Chains A and B, each alone.
Chain A
């Protein structure tokens, strides 16, 4: 190392320093300003050098042409990254929300471009930005802390107000004396030979040791955690994140905190007169059963009003699937829609007019309507019991009308049927 030169990063780290054989690695020349620099650069370019560079405290415009430099491919890399960002974003959104775990939002399509544009845009920018930055480092071969130009004390002006040209000894045309003459004739104010050690840089041993210690120390916590988790413990384990797992409350079987309760239980019995849920239900009217068996009779007197009500409710709740006449099959609106949408797994609603249903006790039909059957949903929560009975009454009339003999029609009407 030259006397007075400021050591580089690696030298500081690689203690202790020993004198090592030196070799010429290049020539550094200083220039007075931008114009002499450009002129000199053109000279070096014309002399046919390839491994050389120009150093300035700010980008000198026009130097690319003076040096005969090729354009950087960075913009193409960034374009590629941007396209990659778009593809990744669209695939991510389609696969997660439209395919793997479809999320239906207000009946909108599972994958629709407008809603997916923001994320796509952000990922385009993110990918491009990362590649623009990373690409700069890679194309500029940075970080590079031990470049030979840093050996020169003079070179420290390069980031303030110094203008330099450096030619590497590795260049095929390099000849120390000739290069010196060339630079001096090009207007250099100072020319300096750069020397560097010929010994291969060795990785400092103390860094090895420090690395091993760091790895061992870094592995200690996970090993301790694993060991703690794997061994049986008599006490509850440490609960780092409590969430709401332990709450200050009394569970049903817990003892009373107050001595005032005679039974000593934290849970209080219901006040006298409390009716349990469903405790006021009438077996026949609310459940359609008599003595545990399906009722065969209506729980209320059958009237014309009840029939009218049943017709109206049937039209609202039943006809959409089973059709206005109760024939089922494709007569209901839902089947019509399923057919239009070509829903292959659609099960046609059953006919309500079959002999099986005609012979069913009313209580069983009531139960089917209340709790649902096969694909039919439970309608109990939607239709009050009174209306369910009204619908059954109207259904009985439909069944009768669809399986009637001419004798069932009043005599004066029989002629009209023909």
Chain B
């Protein structure tokens, strides 16, 4: 099914906009974009490598559900959590996964509002990543409540006990923030996908594919009246998701910041957590997209320049996170509070110093390599660095939660937390679930927002001259000529 596209050049990372191809490479046309993206989902023969990856991640995901069953039937004692470390891997994993999701919303909503047109090639996959990460995140607080069958007590509903949840508790804010985030992310992702599902429906050859894609495409006809409402709704959802994404990790951070525990009781937490979330999320997008674009032949749509832009965001947010680490120590010293000072002294030099220094080297030192353009444009290298950032950001949450709890106000209750095999199994298992969902997405859904990419095409190649103004611009030697005003068409 896949049609081959003549590649002019795949390197569009030149700093001078006159010397690089805009947004996509390979002289894309409307039809070639559809062919490339739909080709992935329409392959008659599923590649063996996909089966291999799916078999591994699906069995890890199955083991994850097995462990959840073990936990539910036995009790949270199967974890290493014990006084005074009542939050450990469970909440670390929760904050880690919810943070991963934030990059997807940033790409789809915030960059949309800022008119960053390069987002169109990666927003679909990043939004999918958001939805899957939120699924993984939501599991952990759900099972850590202990008696899972009473988790509905979190909801405000009239009951025979005549009590209501405490709406001034950050933990309840969390319930509302995360469930709203999950709902709006799914709606945003699905609404954006409807036109592309219609494309898959219209190209489908077998009756079952046509029925299923047709069902989810809702009978979309690409009519101007539909597009008009659709674009309004998309803009509104972007405008709603933008403050939402900032609020979600701020609320998550108040779970800690509102507590009195030294190491948690910090006003810098909301912005610090949001920066960290975007940092880790972009690292995860790179971790997923570098192999996916190579494996599914999307190099002309998800170009090197997309990856380079993401590396720049990782560099910027990495510096913000490093600044937050520094300012925490400054405030500990400046406050003159001995408990606060001890908490941070203990964090860097205490029994968990190993975790702290893994965090600092992965999150602050490693991203500094992105100052070099060579690193920003070498996919395998940036994949390694992004993987390191993922590790570092997991350890950041571990350091904040476990080091602060393990040495609280009462030295007699101090305890060194050691994870059990179930703790570690569930961490790995959540990755299995995440990759399983992502692999299914890659195989059966449009990985790139085709309608959106078509909208920002520089209108070259052999497509119908639907934009007479730009149709006259030929492309010579992989460069794009200037238009009359000295600017370049349709690229930011």
Q: Show the binding face of A for B, using Cβ within 8 Å.
A: 6, 8-9, 12, 32-35, 37, 41, 53-60, 63-64, 67, 69, 72, 74-75, 78, 92-93, 96-97, 100-101, 103, 105, 108, 115-116, 118-119, 121-123, 125-126, 128-130, 132-133, 135-137, 139-140, 142-147, 149-150, 155-161, 163, 166, 241, 243
Contact = CB atoms under 8 A, between A and B. Distances in A.
A336 to B, nearest CB: 32
Interface string B427-457: 0000000000000000000000011101100
- Secondary structure at the A interface, as helix, strand, loop or mixed, is helix
A222 to B, nearest CB: 18
Interface stretch (B29-37, B136-144, B299-307): B29-37
A60 B164 contact: no
A408 to B, nearest CB: 57
Given A54-B224, A123-B176, A116 B168 contact: yes
Interface in B194-227: 195, 198-199, 201-203, 207, 210-211, 214-215, 218-227
20 contacts: A9-B210, A9-B214, A55-B224, A93-B167, A97-B168, A105-B166, A105-B168, A125-B243, A129-B240, A133-B237, A136-B191, A136-B229, A142-B218, A147-B219, A158-B222, A159-B198, A159-B199, A161-B463, A163-B466, A241-B147
Residue of B162, B191, B464 with most chain A CB atoms under a 10 A cut-off: B464
B240 A125 contact: yes
B166 A74 contact: no
A-B pairs, top 7 by smallest CB distance, nearest first, are A33-B466, A34-B466, A96-B164, A161-B30, A143-B218, A59-B227, A54-B224
Given A57-B454, A69-B228, A126-B180, A160 B233 contact: no
Nearest to A106: B168
B375 to A, nearest CB: 35
A53 B223 contact: yes
Taking residues whose C-beta sits less than 8 angstroms from the other chain, chain B's interface range is 35 or more
Nearest to B258: A115
Contacts of A60: 224, 227
Contact of B176 (A56, A67, A101, A122): A122
Contact of A33 (B168, B177, B214, B464): B464
Contacts of B53: none
A146 B202 CA distance: 14
Residue of B31, B170, B226 with most chain A CB atoms under a 10 A cut-off: B226
B464 A132 contact: no
Contacts of B59: none
B224 A72 contact: no
Contacts, number: 225
A13 to B, nearest CB: 8
Interface of B: 29-31, 34, 147, 149, 156, 162-168, 170, 172-173, 176-177, 179-180, 183-184, 187-188, 190-191, 195, 198-199, 201-203, 207, 210-211, 214-215, 218-233, 236-237, 240-241, 243-244, 247, 251, 254, 450-452, 454-455, 463-468
Residue of B210, B225, B226, B232 with most chain A CB atoms under a 10 A cut-off: B225
Nearest to A156: B202
A133 to B, nearest CB: 4
A12 B211 contact: yes
A78 B237 CA distance: 10
B219 A142 contact: yes
Nearest to A124: B240
Given A9-B211, A54-B223, A96-B164, A122 B247 contact: yes
